[in-house]
Every structure is written in structure tokens, then in C-alpha cells.
Amino acid sequence: MSTLIEHLEFVITADANDRIIRDAAILIEGTRIAAIGTTEEVRAGLGSRSPGTVIDGRRTGVTPGFVDTHVHLSESLSRAVFPDVLATRAWVFHWAKPFYAHVSEADEGISVLTGTAEMLRSGTTCFLDMGAQNDAGLTARAVEQIGIRGVVARHAADVRPAQAPPGWSDEMMDHHFFPDHRVALETLEASVREWNGYADGRVRCWVNIEGKEPCSLELHVGAQALAADLGVGTTYHIASSAEESRVSEQKHGLTPVQRIAQHGGLGSNLVLAHAVALTDEEVDLLADHRTSVAFCPSTSLKLAKGATDIGKYPEMIERGVIVGVGTDGVSASGNLNLHRQIHLVAGLFKDSRRDPTLVGARKAIRMATIDGATALGWDDEIGSLEVGKQADFVLFDLNHHEWTPYGDPEQALVWSASPASIAETWVAGRAVFAQGGITTIDEPALREEARERAAAITKRAGLDGSVPTTTTLYD
């Protein structure tokens, strides 16, 4: 069965030539794009054949589905629970970890569905999740149910703090930390073997770890090596704040990325989350090893990471480092709206460096589509709208006030539009968000359950009482 969407006002392809096709048409056969071009061209290619379904795309524009290169789906029930006056390390150790420790398997399934529903409503069709607190299968099964595409994993760390802070229990520590890097890697390998390729290939599973102080050097380096052996990727947090880099220099005499590189841990299958506090030398190391970066603008703003002050993202881009865009978790950034991140990344460096040529609309779109897909090693199938690729795309309602009137569709998408004007989100050739709702789940029931579970987790974790807002952990 084929579907023809014709007379689209525009298609932003994000292909190698950044083609924008006017009066466009997309022919979908199964899960893939069978033809794309002007309506006249696609119709001519059909000859005497008639598509099964024809959709009138007038007053509609299309973009590739957005690719979120860094998200925590097990965090989706913690929206606006943690204070917004926390630096990164206090946020992680005194708030996020106690919350995660009290997320049960049932909670996590609802958390993933809640997060992915928000993603689909915002035009995200693929994500890289940092890792489930319980079992990667929870995320994989939720992905299959809701219809999105993504990389799942099992969370891993192996370095316990010398003294447990308030809110941490022995049970939590045993759940959160593996005895050593070998046990962690064995567990991660088992997850990859079980879940990679699940849901007709919409689910991939990686060897992901937490990164930073809670992970040993052996786990950092071992995760990248194991992932290479298994033919998959890995991701972890690194150089996520100036404080983290200072601690690394004090303890090891090396900045975080220097230390990983010195031990052979960089590679093209590695995506570094945040990477805010880098030196010029580290940027060169990433470029030389074709290691990618996931930049999360909203998190930098909320947690005062300093991306526009010390961040070297324009330098990374100039050196050829693939920089994708991530939302992070809903507590870290406040939302899973990747469209908002596209808007931010297009302009933050223009303003901070007073250079109007930096990043801009077209590059921001590429960062959230084909560059993100490249970071995930999935650019052969997603990230741009081309013949043979998966039919993952977003339909924008151009009758919406955000698009009335407009000239250049790329500028309008980045500087004027928002998810409010998204009409439909398609993944693998079907509309999973349409007519104002997710087509695969009962959203009202999901939201009610999410509210109840979020309140219970917050209470169990003790985050409704007095919690430290500074930390000396791992110093």
C-alpha cells in the first residue's frame, strides 16, 4: 500500500544540497520514501499506477523528523520538582539521583511513554536515551507501543561516593552502582544482545554509561571498546561543567576528555553529552577521533553551565565535529521540546559573540536532523528526506498564525514557528501524532497516571522536604 502526499507548499530535505522543494510531493511505500520531488515529477514517475491513498498537502510544509541526541526518559515524571537555583553537581547528586533511585519499573514505563508523547508532539521522531534505571526493555517496549524510533540502554555507573549524601540509602546505592566495570559491561552487553534491532528495527540498543565521577576510567574506556566490538554506539556525560573539569584536573592532572583520549577511549561511535568545558586541544581530539557531541541549550541555561561563555560549539562545528542537539531530561531543561532547542542553538552564539554569521537557521535545522542522525550512526536511514530513507517527517500547518505570512521556510521554522503549528508527526510511514493527539495510546489516562506516580516518587525520595543545594561529593 502506498501513500502520496502532494502539492506540499515546501519540503525542507536537509539533504547534502539542502534542497527546498516547492509544490512538492512525497510517495511513501511501506515505511520508506519511494519518491520525492515536485508534484509534477512524482506524478510523472507514477505513470499509470495509482497510489493507494492520496493526501492533499496544500498549505502544509514538511521537514525531516527531529533527532534528539541526548535525553533521560526515566526523568520524565520529575518536571519542575527540583529547584532552578542548582549548579550541575548539586542537581545531580542531591536531587536527580534520589529521584531516579525511587523510580520503579512500573514508574519507568509510564515515564518513557510520557516523555515520548511530548517528543512526538514536538516533531521528534528519534532519540538517544541515556539509559533506563531498571531495564532497557522497559524503554524498548514503550517505543514499540507508541511508535517512535530511538536508541535505548541500561544505565551504568561503578564508583560509589566515599560518603553517601542525604537521601541516599544502601538499597539505592546497590541498585544504582555496579560492583565494578566488568560487571557493568557484562550487563550492558546482555542488553544490547537482547534489544538491539527490536520493534522492526525502530529500536537500537547501545552500551551507555553515566560518565563523569560516578564512572571509573575503565568503564569509560571499556564502554567505547565494547560498543565497537558489538557494532553499536555509546554515550555518556563528560566535561558537563567547569567544576567537573576542575575536579578532574585536581585529581588526575588532566581535563576529562584529555584523560579519556590518553587511554584510547575516543572514537566515531561515541557521543559526548554536554561537553561544555573543553579546551582547544580537546576540540582537536574530538575532531581527530570523529567523536560527536550532544549540545543541550536549555539545560545550560537552567543549570548555568556556561555554554555561551566557555562553550566551544562553533569551534567544534568549524573543526568538523558532528554536534547534535538534545533536550536532556525534563528537570534538567524543563521540556522535551527539541524545536525549542533548535531556536536556541540558532541564536545563542550569534548573541554571545556578537557575530550574526554563527550557526543560524539552516545549520540549526541540520544539527537537529541529519547531523543528529549521523551522530547516532543512523544517517543512512533517517535525518533527511531522500528516496530509500525511512518516512520520518513532520507536517506543519501553514494556515497557523506562526506561518502567516512567511518568506523563507527555514527561517520561519526556526525563528517563528513552534510545535503549536505541527499538524502531524510520521514515523516509519505512519502518522503517530495527528488530529491533535497521539494515535497509538490513551493520552488522558497516561497523564493522570503520570501525575499520581510523580507525586509518589517525589514523596518516597524525600524531595518534598529539606535537601542540600550545594555539594562536595567526589571532590
DSSP one-letter string for 183-236: HHHHHHHHHHHHHTTTTTTTEEE-----BSTTS-HHHHHHHHHHHHHHT--EEE
What is the chain's alpha carbon radius of gyration, rounded to the nearest angstrom? 22
Would you state the pLDDT for residue 100?
85
Would you state the pLDDT for residue 88?
82
Would you state the pLDDT for residue 455?
95
Would you state the pLDDT for residue 474?
67
Q: Report yes or no: 73 and 133 within 8 Å, Cβ to Cβ.
A: no
Q: Report yes or no: 276 and 241 within 8 Å, Cβ to Cβ.
A: yes
Domains observed in the chain:
2-64+384-438 (2.30.40.10), 66-375 (3.20.20.140)
Would you state the pLDDT for residue 472?
67
Would you state the pLDDT for residue 475?
60
Straight-line distance from the first to the last Cα atom of the chain, in angstroms, rounded to the nearest whole number: 60
What residues in the chain have per-residue pLDDT under 50? none
Would you state the pLDDT for residue 296?
98
| pLDDT tens digits for range 270-299 | 999 999 999 999 999 999 999 999 999 999
The pTM (predicted TM-score) of the whole model is: 0.96
Other CB atoms within 10 Å distance of the CB of residue 251: 12
